[in-house]
C-alpha cells in the first residue's frame, strides 16, 4: 500500500515537472522568436535617389539635399539627408557623407582656403577628402555612386561597403 502511494507521489511529481516544462517551452519559444527573430520585409534597398545633377556646376563642391526613405518598424520615414558632391565632369562625381570623421560635426566648404573645414575642432580635408589637418585621422566618408540618365544615386559609404 505504502509502495503504491510512493509510486503515485513520484508519478505526480514527475508529471508536474514534465507538464510545466512543456507549457513553459510552448510559451517561451514563440516569445523568443518574437523578440529575437528578424521581421519579414526588413531588408531595404541601399540605393538612394539623390536627384537630378545635370544642372550642378563642375568645380567647387556643392552640398545637395535629398529625401531618404527609411523603414522603421511599422512605419517608413521620409527624412531629409544631405551630401557634398564634387563634380569634375558630367558623369565624374565624388560624393562625401556630410559629417566630419572626427566626432561627427557637419563640415563646410571653405571657398577661400579651398578645403572642407570642420568648425568644431578644426579638422580640414582636401577636395578629394584626404585629411589635411587633424584631429581627424581618416578621410571623409565617400559614397558608392551611380549615375542613371541625369540622376545621381547613392549607395553605402565605401568604408561600410568594404566592411
Partner 1 sequence: MAQEPVEQSGNSPVIPGGVAKGARNARQFPFWVWLESRTGVGGSIRHFLMEDIPASAGWPQVFGSVALFLVLTQALTGVLLAINYTPSHDEAYRSVAYVMREVTAGKMIRGLHHWGASFMVVCVALHMAQVFLYGAYKKPREVTWIVGVLLLLLTLAFGLTGYLLPWDNRAYWATMVTVRIASQAPWAGPYLVKLAGASEQLGALTLSRFYALHVLILPAATTVLIGFHLYLVRRHGVTPGAEPLGPNTKFYPRQAFRDVLAIFITFSILFATAAFLNVPIERMADPTDTSYVPRPDWYFLFLFQMLKLFRGSLEPIGSIGLPTLAILALFAVPFLDRTRVRRVRQRITAIGILLLATALWGALTAGAIASSPHQEAPAALEGISTQATQFTPEELAGLGWFRREKCADCHNLVSGGPKEGPNLAGADLQKPREWRIVHFNQSNRGAAHGKNGASHLSLAELNALSVLLAKLTAEHGRELDQAPQPLIDGAEVYTAHACGSCHRVNGSGGEIGPSLNGVATRRSKDWILRHFAAPQALSPGSVMPPYHFSKTEEDAIMTYLLSLPQ
- Find all residues with CB under 8 Å of 141, minimum gap 6, and list them: 96, 97, 99, 101, 157, 158, 159
Query: In this complex, which beta carbon is closest to partner 1, that of residue 34 or of residue 57?
Result: 34
Site of grid cell 559609404? 157
Could you please report the per-residue DSSP string of 90-107?
Answer: TTEEEEE-SB-TTT--B-
Write out the binding residues for partner 1, residues 25-84 only, by CB under 8 A.
Answer: 26-27, 29-31, 33-35, 37-42, 44-45, 47-49, 51-52, 67-69, 71, 73-78
User: CB of 53: closest distance to partner 1 in angstroms?
Assistant: 12
Q: Are 152 and 100 in contact (CB under 8 A)?
A: no
User: CB of 71: closest distance to partner 1 in angstroms?
Assistant: 7
Count residues binding partner 1 (CB under 8 A).
47
DSSP 113: T
Sign of CA dihedral 10, 13, 16, 19: negative
Query: In this complex, which beta carbon is closest to partner 1, that of residue 41 or of residue 55?
Result: 41
Query: In this complex, which beta carbon is closest to partner 1, that of residue 34 or of residue 111?
Result: 34
Query: In this complex, which beta carbon is closest to partner 1, that of residue 139 or of residue 155?
Result: 155
Distance, in Å, from the CA atom of 144 to the CA atom of 142, rounded to the nearest integer, reads 7
Which x/- pattern over 119-158 shows residues binding partner 1 (rule: CB under 8 A)? ---------------------------xxxx-x-x-----
CA dihedral of residues 86, 62, 116, 67 (deg, nearest 10): -100
Q: Is 26 helix (H, G, I), strand (E, B) or coil?
A: helix
User: CB of 115: closest distance to partner 1 in angstroms?
Assistant: 31
Q: Is residue 103 a contact point for partner 1 (CB under 8 A)?
A: no
Chain residues that interact with partner 1, rule: CB under 8 A: 8-9, 12-13, 15-16, 19-20, 22-23, 26-27, 29-31, 33-35, 37-42, 44-45, 47-49, 51-52, 67-69, 71, 73-78, 146-149, 151, 153
Amino acid at each position: 500500500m505504502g509502495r503504491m502511494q510512493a509510486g503515485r507521489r513520484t508519478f505526480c511529481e514527475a508529471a508536474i515537472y514534465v507538464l510545466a516544462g512543456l507549457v513553459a517551452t510552448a510559451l517561451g519559444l514563440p516569445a523568443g522568436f518574437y523578440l529575437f527573430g528578424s521581421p519579414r520585409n526588413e531588408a531595404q534597398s541601399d540605393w538612394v535617389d539623390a536627384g537630378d545633377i545635370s544642372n550642378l556646376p563642375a568645380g567647387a563642391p556643392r552640398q545637395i539635399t535629398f529625401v531618404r526613405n527609411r523603414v522603421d518598424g511599422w512605419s517608413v520615414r521620409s527624412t531629409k539627408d544631405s551630401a557634398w558632391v564634387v563634380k569634375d565632369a558630367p558623369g565624374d562625381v565624388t560624393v562625401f557623407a556630410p559629417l566630419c570623421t572626427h566626432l561627427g560635426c557637419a563640415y563646410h566648404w571653405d571657398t577661400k582656403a579651398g578645403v572642407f573645414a570642420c568648425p568644431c575642432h578644426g579638422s580640414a580635408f582636401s577636395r578629394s577628402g584626404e585629411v589635411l589637418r587633424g584631429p581627424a585621422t581618416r578621410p571623409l566618408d565617400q559614397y558608392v555612386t551611380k549615375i542613371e540618365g541625369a540622376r545621381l544615386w547613392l549607395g553605402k559609404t565605401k568604408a561600410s561597403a568594404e566592411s
